[in-house]
């Protein structure tokens, strides 16, 4: 079963993050192979592969959660890229992060918008959005 989870996780990671996600996990595996396997098997092989939500919805939820945590900017950066990769509109990403001001506070939303600004600049998305 573990091999199935690993393969399913690898497929889901590629679907969500593309080559950038694969690079992150491969880099992690060089130092911490067990943890890289856990990321693939559990996060992507078990959770992301579940039915019930599409990848767009999963990424919007992930962006919201990472923004609300307030201490996960590197992971938020990866998942803002992933949200765009799976078809989320830039305006949807911005709205989700702005929504976090209500539930996680203005500092968390401001920090999240800072990450969004950086990722959008890297992706050629001009702000302000129309």
Residue pLDDT tens, the chain, 130 long? 578 999 999 999 999 999 888 899 999 999 999 999 999 999 999 999 999 999 999 999 999 999 999 999 999 999 999 999 999 999 999 999 999 999 999 999 999 999 999 999 999 999 999 8
Q: How far apart are CA 5 and CA 91, in angstroms?
A: 34
The residues, ordered by sequence, that sit 6+ positions from 62 with a Cβ below 8 Å of its Cβ are 79, 82, 83
Sign of CA dihedral 115, 117, 63, 19: negative
Residue 87, phi then psi, degrees to nearest 5: 105, 10
Helix (H) or strand (E) run with residue 55 in it: helix 55-69
Q: How far apart are CA 63 and CA 65, in angstroms?
A: 6
Q: How far apart are CA 94 and CA 114, in angstroms?
A: 11
Asked, as a colleague might, if the bond just before 81 is cis with ω within 30 of 0, I would say: no
């Amino acid at each position: 079963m573990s091999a199935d989870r690993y393969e399913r996780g690898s497929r889901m990671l590629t679907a969500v993050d593309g080559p950038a996600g694969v690079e992150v996990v491969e880099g992690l595996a060089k130092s911490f192979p067990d943890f890289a396997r856990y990321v693939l098997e559990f996060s992507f092989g078990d959770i992301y592969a579940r039915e019930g939500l599409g990848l767009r919805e999963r990424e919007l939820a992930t962006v919201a959660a990472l923004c609300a945590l307030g201490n996960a900017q590197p992971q938020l950066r990866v998942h803002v890229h992933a949200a765009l990769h799976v078809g989320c509109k830039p305006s949807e990403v911005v709205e989700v992060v702005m929504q976090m001001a209500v539930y996680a506070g203005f500092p968390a939303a401001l920090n999240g918008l800072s990450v969004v600004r950086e990722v959008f600049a890297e992706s050629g998305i001009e702000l302000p959005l129309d």
